Amino acid sequence: MQTSFTEDQLRDPDTAESNKILRTCVHCGFCTATCPTFVLLGDELDSPRGRIYLIKDMLENDRPATPEVVKHVDRCLSCLSCMTTCPSGVHYMHLVDHARRHIEETYERPRSERALRRLLSFLLPYPRRFRLALLGSGLGKPLARLIPGRSITAERLRAMLKLAPGSVPSPSPVEKPGIHRAEGVRRGRVALLTGCAQQVLAPSINEATIRLLTRMGLDVVVTSGQGCCGALDHHMGHHDPAMRLARANIAAWHAEMAGAGLDAIVINASGCGTTVKDYGFMFRAEPGEWPAKAEAVAGLAMDVSEVLVRFGYAPTREPSGLTVAYHAACSLQHGQKITAAPKDLLKRAGFAVKEPVEGHLCCGSAGTYNLLQPEISAQLRDRKLANLDRTRADLIASGNIGCLTQLAGGAMPTVHTVELLDWMAGGPEPAQLAAARHVRAAPLAP
């Protein structure tokens, strides 16, 4: 694709990068076939190729975002399926992230939209605030169906209440800063990103991760000063808040690397993993030592499945006889290009593994997407659940809290992959499986 950015424009590192990305695109349109919004809506502007044209025009002419550009860029899930499909290697992720930042800097959204985005940015990255918000929303959950109207505000309110859990788990002590010592012979030392929303919604995931890694001979460090990876703000175009959160993580982990050392930074939420692995790019133009520190942190970041493969995961229990429908989170299969490891580990643990058709399509969670675009998100969720149900499996496994929350409440329980692997290596049975078995065993009402 030809571009005509001026020399002055290309002095900006983001514009220079977007120029390289745009020039890589050859208009082939392969991306349209695997783009969830194009598959649903059939609008060229809701495909990666269409959005690329809109973004190019906006950036090249250095003009403020228009309502049309905002509409179609907002509809992008950042699932990155297009990057897996693209034969030319177009790095769409960095391009759309640049576009979102430009939108936030040049476009004034409606007041209700600005308020919602500020609220999500204020709550979701901070566990204490998010926990309090969920406790309050739980009281209003039964009233979701009573919210009148078909406006986008009404739909978003209903979506927020619907996604709120019926109960909020208590904070887990394992997520406090400290070191969880290896059992037996020490084989390595890793840091764990405890995350933000995940530790509120499902602290059992971090608990299972720590149990499993320490049994495998790894010291697991929860560093003081770490927090949200910044992905939620980053994908809403909130550049400064995202960088502030990422900077805190880099400082915390780099200090640990320079001290006792780390063999890996373990991430068990794949949406976070995609962002942390991109820290080097995000900080490439920052002053001083930040680019080198960010690159070093990004180089140590690993999905928990990668760590388990590296250190030789082995089950200790007899196979459960259960069949798992494996849902590949977009951030794992498209963002990090990790496809085989989770399935191989589940098979090694004795599970029969099935994959749904259209496994490349997003479930509609996509960070805050299910709150900001509830109608499209619901359609993708229903489509994904129908395909998962057709596998006739006993449960759904995935490696991302957003996907697990989005797919919960269907016919099958949803369990994080690491919880199943921990169970088969001596840990407790995941609570979701025990609850599902109790429901199936309950006598019928007279």
pLDDT tens-digit profile of 201-260? 999 999 999 999 999 999 999 999 999 999 999 999 999 999 999 999 999 999 999 999
Q: Would you say residue 438 has pLDDT above 70?
A: no
The residue with tokens 């690993």 is 302
Q: Would you say residue 385 has pLDDT above 60?
A: yes
What is the β-pairing status of strands 301-303 and 264-267?
parallel
Cα 163 from chain centre:
16
For the stretch 301-319, pLDDT in tens is 999 999 999 999 999 999 9
For the stretch 38-55, pLDDT in tens is 999 999 999 999 999 999
Q: Would you say residue 141 has pLDDT above 70?
A: no
Report the C-alpha gap between 270 and 197 in whole angstroms.
13
Report the C-alpha gap between 126 and 123 in whole angstroms.
6
What pLDDT score does 234 carry? 96
Find the mean pLDDT for residues 170-181. 94
What pLDDT score does 167 carry? 83
Q: Would you say residue 35 has pLDDT above 90?
A: yes
- In sequence order, which ranges of 303-397 are alpha helices (DSSP H)? 304-310, 330, 340-348, 369-372, 374-389
What pLDDT score does 164 carry? 77
Average pLDDT, the chain: 93
**Percent of the chain predicted with pLDDT > 90:** 86
Helix (H) or strand (E) holding 326: strand 323-326
Instruction: Check: CB of residue 420 under 8 Å from CB of residue 396.
Output: no
What pLDDT score does 444 carry? 38
> pLDDT-based confidence at 445, cuts 50/70/90?
very low
Nearest to 107 by CA among 115, 99, 119, 96: 99
What pLDDT score does 143 carry? 64
Instruction: Check: CB of residue 221 under 8 Å from CB of residue 264.
Output: no
Higher pLDDT, 147 or 308: 308
Q: Would you say residue 138 has pLDDT above 90?
A: no
Q: In what order do the strands lie in the sheet with 323-326?
A: 352-354, 323-326, 395-398, 414-416
What pLDDT score does 139 carry? 66
Residue 318 is classified by DSSP as P
Instruction: Check: CB of residue 25 under 8 Å from CB of residue 72.
Output: no
Find the mean pLDDT for residues 286-302. 98
Count Cβ neighbours within 10 Å for each residue of 18-48 and write b for 16 or more, e otherwise. Answer: bbebbeebeeeeebbebbbbbbbbeeebbbb
Residue 220 has φ and ψ, to the nearest 5°, of -115, 120
